[in-house]
C-alpha cells in the first residue's frame, strides 16, 4: 500500500513540475526581461528525486522479504548469503582500484581538465568513463601515452577482470546452492537460469549429475507415454 501511495505522490509531483515548467517558459516568452523564479520548480524536482530514492529502497526491502517466502526464490537469498564474504572482498578490490585511478586522474589531468579537478569529481568522471558516458579524447589529446595507458589498464582491470570474477563467484555459489533444492522439478528453472548467465559471461557450464538424472527421468516418461 505504501508503494502505491508513494508512486501516486510522485505522479502528482511530476504533473505539478510539468505545469510549473510550462508556466515559467510562458512567462519568459511573454517578457524576456522579467526575472523568472525557478525556486518552486527546483524544490518540487528535489522532492521527486528523494521520493524516487525512497521508493527504490522500499521496493528493494520488499523484494528481499519476498525471497524468503517463495521456496524457489529462496535460492537467490541463500546464494547471496553464502557468497557474501567473496563479494565483500571483490567490492573492496573494486573500491581500492577506483580510489587509485581517481587519484591518478586527479593528479595527472586535474590541472587542465575541470572534471578531474577534485577527487570526488574525478571519481565520478572515471566511473562515467568506464560506462562510456565521459569522453576520453580530451585525455588522449592532453597526454597520449599516459592517458591511453590509464584508460586501457582501467578498462581491463575494472571491467574485464574484477567484475567478471565478481559475477563468477556469485554463479559458483548459485550452482552449489541449487543442489539443496527439494525436488528435481524445482531444479530445472534454476539450471536454465544458470546456463543462460554462464553463456552470457562466457563461462563454461557443466551439467551436474542431478540434472543428468532429471533428463533421464523425463526421457523415460516420454518413452512410457
Exposed, middle or buried: residue 174 (CB in 10 Å: 0-12, 13-18, 19+)? buried
Asked if 32 and 86 sit in the same domain, the reply is no
Q: Count of CB atoms within 10 A of residue 33's CB?
A: 5
Confidence of residue 209 (pLDDT cuts 50, 70, 90): very low
Residue 6 falls inside a structural domain: yes
Residues 6+ apart with CB under 8 A from 199: 205
Torsion of CA 130, 131, 137, 142, to 10 degrees: -30
pLDDT at residue 104, as a whole number: 92
Question: In the predicted model, what is the mean pLDDT of residues 180-197?
Answer: 57
Lowest mean pLDDT among 55-64, 82-91, 114-123: 82-91
Residue 213 falls inside a structural domain: no
Question: In the predicted model, what is the mean pLDDT of residues 109-124?
Answer: 88
Asked if 91 and 171 sit in the same domain, the reply is yes
pLDDT at residue 131, as a whole number: 82
Q: Count of CB atoms within 10 A of residue 83's CB?
A: 20
pTM here is 0.55
Between vectors from CA 119 to CA 113 and to CA 120, what angle results, nearest 5°?
A: 100
| Structural domain boundaries, residue 177 | 73-181
Q: Count the domains in the chain.
A: 2
Looking up cell 537460469 gives 193
pLDDT digits (tens, 9 = 90+) for 15-29: 998 998 888 888 888
Residue 118 falls inside a structural domain: yes
pLDDT digits (tens, 9 = 90+) for 131-142: 877 778 888 888
Q: Is the pLDDT of residue 54 over 80?
A: yes
Asked if 40 and 102 sit in the same domain, the reply is no
Residues 6+ apart with CB under 8 A from 154: 97, 101, 126, 129, 130
Nearest to 197 by CA among 76, 58, 26, 21: 76
Residues 6+ apart with CB under 8 A from 179: 208, 210
Last residue of a domain, one of 67, 88, 123: 67
Q: Is the pLDDT of residue 189 over 80?
A: no
Asked if 174 and 95 sit in the same domain, the reply is yes
Question: In the predicted model, what is the mean pLDDT of residues 82-97?
Answer: 82
pLDDT digits (tens, 9 = 90+) for 158-169: 877 777 777 777
Asked if 87 and 159 sit in the same domain, the reply is yes
Between 177 and 88, the higher pLDDT residue: 88
pLDDT at residue 161, as a whole number: 79
Tell me the average pLDDT of the chain: 77
Last residue of a domain, one of 47, 67, 87: 67
Q: What's the CA gap between 175 and 82, in Å, rounded?
A: 11
Asked if 174 and 85 sit in the same domain, the reply is yes
pLDDT at residue 99, as a whole number: 92
Torsion-angle region of residue 162: left (phi > 0), alpha (psi -120 to 50) or beta? Answer: alpha
Lowest mean pLDDT among 57-66, 67-76, 117-126, 167-176: 67-76
Rounded to whole angstroms, the maximal C-alpha distance in the chain is: 86
Confidence of residue 222 (pLDDT cuts 50, 70, 90): low
Amino acid at each position: 500500500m505504501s508503494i502505491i501511495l508513494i508512486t501516486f505522490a510522485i505522479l502528482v509531483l511530476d504533473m505539478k513540475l510539468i505545469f510549473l515548467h510550462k508556466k515559467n517558459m510562458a512567462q519568459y516568452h511573454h517578457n524576456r526581461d522579467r526575472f523568472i523564479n525557478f525556486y518552486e520548480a527546483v524544490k518540487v524536482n528535489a522532492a521527486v528525486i528523494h521520493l524516487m530514492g525512497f521508493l527504490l529502497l522500499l521496493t528493494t526491502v520488499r523484494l528481499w522479504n519476498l525471497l524468503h517466502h517463495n521456496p524457489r526464490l529462496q535460492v537467490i537469498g541463500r546464494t547471496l548469503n553464502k557468497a557474501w564474504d567473496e563479494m565483500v572482498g571483490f567490492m573492496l578490490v573494486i573500491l581500492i582500484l577506483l580510489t587509485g585511478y581517481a587519484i591518478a586522474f586527479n593528479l595527472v589531468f586535474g590541472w587542465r581538465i575541470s572534471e578531474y579537478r577534485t577527487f570526488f569529481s574525478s571519481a565520478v568522471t572515471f566511473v562515467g568513463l568506464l560506462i562510456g558516458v565521459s569522453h576520453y579524447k580530451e585525455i588522449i589529446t592532453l597526454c597520449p601515452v599516459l592517458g591511453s595507458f590509464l584508460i586501457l589498464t582501467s578498462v581491463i582491470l575494472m571491467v574485464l577482470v574484477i567484475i567478471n570474477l565478481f559475477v563468477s563467484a556469485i554463479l559458483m555459489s548459485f550452482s552449489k546452492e541449487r543442489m539443496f533444492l527439494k525436488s528435481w522439478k524445482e531444479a530445472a528453472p534454476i539450471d536454465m537460469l544458470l546456463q543462460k548467465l554462464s553463456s552470457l559471461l562466457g563461462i563454461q557450464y557443466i551439467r551436474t549429475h542431478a540434472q543428468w538424472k532429471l533428463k533421464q527421468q523425463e526421457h523415460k516418461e516420454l518413452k512410457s507415454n
